[in-house]
Amino acid sequence: MSNTITDSNFNFTGQKSVYKGKVRAVYNINDQELVMVATDRLSAFDVVMPKGIPYKGQILNQIATKFMAQTEDIVPNWLTATPDPNVAVGHLCEPFKVEMVIRGYLSGHAAREYKAGKRILCGVTMPEGMNENDKFPKPIITPATKAEMGDHDEDISREDIVKKNIVSEADYVILEDYTRKLFTRGTEIAASRGLILVDTKYEFGKTKEGKIVLIDEIHTPDSSRYFYADGYQERQDKGEAQKQLSKEFVRQWLIANNFQGLEGQTVPFMSDDYIESVSERYIELYEQIMGEKFVKADVSNIHDRIEKNVEAYLAE
């Protein structure tokens, strides 16, 4: 369990500043490019768990960078290099302070809200008579404001985003268009691997030249939910839970252990065996989503490996 990276206190050549999110740390290099380090931290209900998950950062980084390569023909992205299994490098961007969440099915947060009697989510009406995990007539976009470390993301409508000047109307139209295009492509790729892309979120930024680009992660198990296509309808017809690939299995374990990130609640103890099982599940997710074998990087000293690889890249 010790061979994980849970902190990211690097000091790279030319480093101007660092922003630390719940899972990733982003380093500004000479106000020219960004170095994003994906740690092995695990976040659920907007709370970072006390132990890291072996190989999780590598898995998230490699899924995200490979999906960016597979979607760059329809939506521009920030990525320019991947000098280390846990690292992505790209253009300096100013992130939009919203996450573009798109849902093809009534699952997760949307299902919990629906079960509580709500029929409007982020200003979007959800049809009556739906069962959990039913497909929406067409995908709905339900944005969220981006939370700082330890805070909760909050649902917000398109109208409020524009009214509060979080994103201009002209830019928001582009974000929505890009979100739908990416979800369509992600759905096609998932289907080719026997999966259903249920819901996901995308984050965007603006380069110094004013170009809107996709940043951060895309179609990873942390940002997305997948179902197995085989048997989906049969399970729905029987009212059974769907077999899924996502971080939802961690959330469900936490809920079963009386934790949903609410005030006064304590994160349940995670044994080494449980941590190992989560790591194995992430590797399974990678192999199913990417359709290829996961190759474990050398984790004998992750910090030194990352530092050497990034410095070598910066010296080029």
Q: Are 64 and 51 in contact (CB under 8 A)?
A: no
Residue 114 phi, psi dihedral angles, 5° rounding: -65, -45
Rg (CA), the chain: 19
pLDDT the model gives residue 152: 57
Q: What is the DSSP string of 82-108?
A: EEETTEEEEE-EEE-SEEEEEEEES-H
Strands (E), 106-261: 120-121, 124-125, 135-141, 144-145, 154-155, 195-207, 212-215, 224-228, 244-246
Cα separation, 71 vs 182, in Å, equals: 7
**Joined tokens for residue 123:** 């200003």
Of 311, 282, 278, 316, the C-alpha closest to 296 is 282
Beta carbons of 103 and 110 less than 8 angstroms apart: yes
pLDDT by residue, tens only, the chain of 316 residues: 458 999 888 999 999 999 988 889 999 999 999 999 999 998 888 888 888 999 999 999 999 999 999 999 999 999 999 999 999 999 999 999 999 999 999 998 999 999 999 999 999 999 999 999 999 999 999 999 976 544 557 899 999 999 999 999 999 999 999 999 999 999 999 999 999 999 999 999 999 999 999 998 899 988 899 999 999 999 999 999 998 877 778 888 999 999 998 888 999 999 999 999 999 989 988 999 999 999 999 999 999 999 999 999 999 8
For residues 16 and 124, give the distance between their C-alpha atoms in angstroms, rounded to a whole number.
Answer: 41
Q: What distance in Å separates the CA atoms of residue 260 and residue 252, rounded to the nearest whole number?
A: 9
The tokens of 82 are what?
A: 């991947």
Name all domains of the chain by residue range, CATH numbers in brackets: 96-246 (3.30.470.20)
Query: How far is residue 164 from each of residues 138, 146, 157, 170, 201, measured CA to CA in Å?
Result: 27, 14, 11, 14, 21
3-state SS of 47-73 is: EECCCCCCCHHHHHHHHHHHHHHHHCC
Global pTM exceeds 0.85: yes
Name the residue among 254, 310, 260 with its Cα closest to residue 83: 310
* Tokens linked to 240: 């059974």
